[in-house]
Chain A
């Protein structure tokens, strides 16, 4: 008994004092790759910060963020939650049918009201001359995964019904029946561009640009010279619906990979190109003056979030001009990140597409960047954003 007490005390002391010493000696990390976020730094000490309690709040975040072997401990926790305690989710992240996802629940009606109010503001302020305004909701992958596997799920029917009711001035285009679970990445929130050609065609048909796209320039499969500079190891894989499917030779660890803190196989990121897309001119206006950017940003493909390669990720205002289409049609798309991979596939139907993200530019300022007229207009938003719409300005 005495020996056992000595062993227990010694081991505990090693663990406790060892971890404490490591915590003090370890140089602070700036960024967590697995969680894709900045880590907390040691907070500034001041009488004010102590008085209002913010010092301790920040210190708590600092100690958690800078804990030694943090990723290993997060993994241990996740394994305990799923493997030992048999819980269904870890911090709302779950894995079902090989797909990692985050539970989105419950339906937040005030958020739907906010989104609808923002859309109505845009309609009143800029779209009075637009005759063709379309609205499409992108279901997140929980739509196909959550309820079926016993997880808490949004009432999607109610969400779509509410939004349709609040946006009666738009023509709703249903995408749900053209999507399935396989159209989404295993480890990321988003959908796979290589599976979206039918979705793009549904939208183009609904907006009356499908026929134009077929009559327009022969898309022509690309000769392989890329859009942007190819990332090392980019390989051709196949042809599909008039596009060449290319695959990055880099693993794609999506946003849920880090959050799940579980060992998962990475996704493969594929993208579609053809002559039409190669000849498109993409211009960003985020710096105040026009800057030409690649349709697919290969630097970002090798970065922390490879999905940002599509239209260079977060951009408030950009245009896509397609010199191969001469039908006089223009499209304005209000979108979130799901639009980044889909919108290039709409280029075949329009001379110009203007892409606007009102999470990064105030709606009231848009008149300074865009000349609104009788263009076709598409509101393309995911269920996740609509249910958490405070970001819409």
Chain B
């Protein structure tokens, strides 16, 4: 909850907008629980939500530990880890370049 509110503060263009968003998050503004927009974005981000939920559990760590217990798994991890990190770096860079996220958010302060 604290993280959600603090990110609204970071992202808002001014105090008024921040208050309006936070108010809406707590039921002010007479907004419906769901709308065409919420359903659309929930469906669109379903894979991201699933990845986030799974990533928040010990499951990925358990899988990696299991893999590294045998030689073949360890060898596989030695290859996959740097590849995954480089791919992630490139994808994150691609998101920054596309401008959908503001990389200089903190310069507002």
The residues of A with any CB-CB pair to B shorter than 8 Å are: 3-4, 7-8, 11-12, 15-16, 19, 53, 56, 59-60, 64, 67, 70, 73-74, 76-78, 80, 84-89, 91, 105-106, 150-152, 261
Contact = CB atoms under 8 A, between A and B. Distances in A.
A339 B45 CA distance: 38
Nearest to A261: B98
Closest 7 CB pairs of A and B: A77-B94, A73-B97, A76-B94, A73-B94, A88-B44, A77-B98, A8-B82
B interface bracket (residues with beta carbon within 8 Å of A): 20 to 34
Contacts of B44: 87-89
9 contacts: A8-B85, A15-B90, A53-B107, A53-B108, A74-B98, A85-B47, A85-B48, A88-B43, A151-B40
Contacts of A80: 91, 94-95
Nearest to B93: A73
Residues of A contacting B: mostly? helix
A19 B47 contact: no
Given A4-B81, A87-B45, A91-B98, A152 B40 contact: yes
A54 B49 CA distance: 35
A261 B98 CA distance: 10
Interface string B58-100: 0000000000000000000010011001100111011111111
Nearest to B89: A15
Given A70-B97, A76-B90, A8 B81 contact: yes
A74 B46 CA distance: 22
Nearest to A155: B36
A211 B82 CA distance: 73
Interface centre among B89, B94, B95, B100 (most CB of A within 10 A): B94
B108 A60 contact: no
Contacts of B93: 19, 73
Given A80-B94, A85-B47, A91-B100, 7 more contacts: A8-B82, A11-B82, A11-B86, A53-B108, A60-B104, A73-B94, A106-B37
A272 to B, nearest CB: 39
A116 B108 CA distance: 39
Nearest to A7: B82
A213 to B, nearest CB: 43
B103 interface: yes
Contacts of B104: 56, 59-60
A150 B82 CA distance: 38
Contact of A12 (B46, B47, B86): B86
B102 interface: yes
Contacts of A91: 98, 100
B28 to A, nearest CB: 20
A64 B99 CA distance: 7
Contacts of B45: 85, 87
Interface centre among A56, A80, A91 (most CB of B within 10 A): A80
B85 A12 contact: yes
Contacts of A105: 37
Nearest to A103: B40
Contact of B97 (A74, A87, A89): A74
A199 B81 CA distance: 59
A353 B44 CA distance: 47
A15 B103 contact: no
B104 to A, nearest CB: 5
B106 to A, nearest CB: 10
B35 to A, nearest CB: 9
A345 B102 CA distance: 46
Contacts of B78: 3-4
Nearest to B108: A53
B20 to A, nearest CB: 17
Contacts of A84: 47
Contacts of A64: 96-97, 99
Nearest to B85: A8
A67 B98 CA distance: 10
Interface in B1-44: 36-37, 40, 43-44
A89 to B, nearest CB: 7
A261 B99 CA distance: 13
B89 to A, nearest CB: 6
B47 A87 contact: yes
B50 to A, nearest CB: 10
A52 to B, nearest CB: 12
